[in-house]
Structure 1
Amino acid sequence: MSVTARKAEHGHFLTRLQAGEAAWLADAGPENGGLASAPDPHQLLNAALAACTAITVRMYAERKSIALLDVQVNIEHVEEGGVYRIQQQITLQGDLSLEQRAKLIEIAGKCPIHKALTGRFEIATEAL
């Protein structure tokens, strides 16, 4: 599925994103001339990982009838020396054994966005 980005109606760098019927906004931070009225691209990238991780863990727990009440994923990042370092903290809630917790954390690393971010990227750009 493709995602399209276009200038939004208001805001200097406010951008409207669309994927199928879903639409949302992105903006630059004030340090880059934006209004911070929506997540910036780094926050969107981190949000994709957080969402994918939480969904993947919940789906696995449901399939395996694990008593997971909730999962919270917190993502922070720093950029140093050309490396984008992501710190992911996962909080599992529910009456879970140590083995179940370990398995759910293992499964978290198998979400498609995690795999993409830890794999090789190739981006082809063409001007139309």
Structure 2
Amino acid sequence: MFTAANIMEEQKKSVAQGKASITRAHYQTIATSGNHAVVADEPSDLGGTDTGMTPFGLLLASLGSCTAITLRMYIDRKMWIVDEINVDLEIFAMPDGNLIETRIHFKGELIDEQVERLLDIAKKCPVHKLLTGNIMIETKII
């Protein structure tokens, strides 16, 4: 018998996998994906040991790195002269949710039309599309 859950299960395609583990150390967490690991933590004023980025910091790092990589791929394909791309991000609490501000700086030889095109390309990075799209989070205890 086909159910909505069965159909949804068949349509799922894994894009990435990750894991987070914490012991009694307040609140140092080891986050892993593939062969790589990063430390997440909370600042001292929130009871953490401040040994890594906060979860919000990791989210911004993910969006920022994806944006920079996407822009670098496009710039390289177009053979534009850009020596450096810097992406600064900040999360703001708003009355109706949250706002992520992204500010991009280029060091290179770009004209206004190229900069406008790069703004469009930045919004096409996969993490940006994920965060602005339809996200469903299914949490289970196993």
One-letter amino acid of the structure 2 residue matched with residue 73 of structure 1? V
One-letter amino acid of the structure 2 residue matched with residue 17 of structure 1? A
CA distance in 2, matches of 1:75, 1:95: 23
One-letter amino acid of the structure 2 residue matched with residue 6 of structure 1? S
Pair 1:30–1:80, CA change in 2 (3 A): farther
CA distance in 1, matches of 2:42, 2:98: 18
Which of residues 52, 63, 71 in structure 1 aligns to 2:85? 71
Gaps of 5+ in 1: none
Deviation of residue 58 (structure 1)? 0.5
Gaps of 5+ in 2: 1-15
Which of residues 90, 94, 112 in structure 2 aligns to 1:80? 94
Query: What's the counterpart of residue 51 of structure 1?
Result: 65
Structure number with greater Rg is 2
1:94 matches 2:94: no
CA distance in 2, matches of 1:53, 1:34: 29
CA distance in 1, matches of 2:113, 2:102: 20
Give runs of aligned pairs for residues 1-128 of structure 1, distance below 5 A: 1-7=16-22, 11-128=25-142
**Two-structure CA RMSD over aligned residues (Å):** 1.4
Deviation of residue 96 (structure 1)? 0.9
One-letter amino acid of the structure 1 residue matched with residue 84 of structure 2? D
* Larger RCO, structures 1/2 (Cα 8 Å, 6+ apart): 1
One-letter amino acid of the structure 1 residue matched with residue 50 of structure 2? A
CA distance in 1, matches of 2:21, 2:128: 27
Deviation of residue 82 (structure 1)? 4.8
Q: Give % identity.
A: 35
CA distance in 1, matches of 2:32, 2:53: 15
- 4+ long deviations beyond 2 Å: 29-32
CA distance in 2, matches of 1:31, 1:69: 38
Deviation of residue 76 (structure 1)? 0.7
Q: Could you state the TM-score of these two structures normalised by the residue count of structure 2?
A: 0.84
